[in-house]
Copies of this chain bind each other. A is one copy, B any other.
């Protein structure tokens, strides 16, 4: 019966994709703008890359623009041109349709080779000899319901915290290593001029094997937040990819 055939090919294809990506060059947690940009540039450079996303859909905070007005802004448009997003010049800013941007970026990451696992949540970190080796993941629906079920692991030479404002992976480190991360993980008041540059500049490897990108950078370094302007997110994602590409043979 065709019903059996459909079920079989889906389960087998997914199973292959998943077991093949238990070991990666890079695992990214969070499929928002910075995580997707990082995935795109890493995959384009030939690194085996997976993204873990706890929601059903990807795109993070892109879809709603500002307060649901689904338009977003940028200070320049180089990366947008590269990924094929239509822009409109408005004074000093470029605007784009939020849905076009979210879909273009996701499409580019996947077609470049990034494996995305949605409905999947990183609940902890794998740590060996003081080096982060990947993440402990679970079905996010099972987690949301509070069912008592064990996780499994998705490992990588390099792990990226692209979880946005909560900086979830760094938060897990801070909980067990409070002295190493003494500051509150929180973004600062809004100040666009300062934040757009700062978020890129501070993108870095924050602990052996763990990198931060996007709003997680603001949380870790207490940088100002920036609202519905997404250039810094893309550049931070690109920068973290470049850092890892440079380090790719380090581990």
Contact = CB atoms under 8 A, between A and B. Distances in A.
Nearest to A58: B99
A242 interface: no
Given A10-B71, A66-B151, A119-B142, 12 more contacts: A6-B93, A8-B22, A11-B18, A12-B15, A14-B70, A15-B15, A56-B63, A57-B59, A102-B103, A124-B190, A141-B147, A152-B228
A142 B59 contact: no
A198 B154 CA distance: 23
Interface size band for A: 35 or more
A171 interface: no
A195 to B, nearest CB: 10
Interface stretch (A41-49, A105-113, A243-251): A105-113
Interface of A: 1-15, 17-19, 22-23, 56-61, 63-73, 84, 86, 88, 90-93, 95, 97, 99-100, 102-104, 106-107, 110-111, 116-119, 124-128, 133-134, 136-139, 141-142, 144-145, 147-155, 164, 172, 175-176, 184, 186, 188-193, 222, 224-225, 227-229
Instruction: Please name the 8 residue pairs, one residue from A and one from B, whose CB atoms are nearest each other, closest first.
Output: A64-B149, A127-B189, A14-B69, A141-B141, A57-B57, A7-B152, A103-B106, A103-B107
